[in-house]
Amino acid sequence: MKKVLVTGASRGIGYETAAAFAKNGYKVFALWHNSPEKLSDAANPGITPMQGDVSSLASMQKVREEIGEVDILINNAAISHFGLLTDLAETEWDNIMAVDLKSVFLTSKVFLPDMIRKKSGKIINISSIFGVVGGSCEVAYSTAKAGIIGFTKALAKEVGPSGIQVNCIAPGVIATEMNSRLSDDDMAALADETPLGRIGTPEEVARLALYLAEDTFITGETINIGGGFMR
């Protein structure tokens, strides 16, 4: 049975991704930091919750010691901040970079050696459409998510000779807790701006992650999934 680690898995895209892999026969370790939320639900016996801080190398090394090597690493953990750059504190910037971008480096650093030794493995990084086109009043988030795309492209070339595939998913507007700050009118306006005329679901992103995990020849790619939304 293949083993999967999903970071930021207590809700939203991370939780649905963990659930999708569990339903398809994978052994899933779902990483949470502050609260397990849905992961405490007994209705998900195929998911093993793990507590950890993705911005800490020591914490990720401890997770590796506890669960061993994994076949698939899904870097989903993220936080955001909405507001003007001039109002953003340095500590807030550093925290977003640590959780959203540095974490991808740390988890990859910790779990890659096993994959290289086996000459097999998949890393799937969750970016954002704002990492592709940028988002006004979300400069720090957009910067971190753009960094993930660059990281993905470079690492795919580096570890491709070892049989490891590294890809990136860039969701558009998805109905998650991160977007709960938006009003119903805001969400309706975003749906109108989306060519397919609706907001996406975490389950749809999860299905794409599952597809990439089972593919054998895609690497170094960033796949947008947002109903055509390219604001």
Examine the residue annotation and report whether 15 is marked as an active-site residue of this protein.
no
What is the C-alpha to C-alpha distance for residues 40 and 106, in angstroms, rounded to an integer? 26
CB 182 within 8 A of CB 18: no
73 closest CA partner among 100, 103, 95:
103
> Smallest Cα–Cα separation from 38: which of 28, 49, 27?
49
- Give the integer Cα–Cα distance in Å for 93 and 87: 11
Catalytic-labelled residue, pool 15, 26, 141, 211: 141
Return the H-helix or E-strand segment holding 3: strand 3-6
Q: Contact at 8 Å (CB) between 68 and 5?
A: no
Q: Do residues 31 and 47 make contact, with C-beta atoms less than 8 angstroms apart? A: no
Catalytic residues: 141
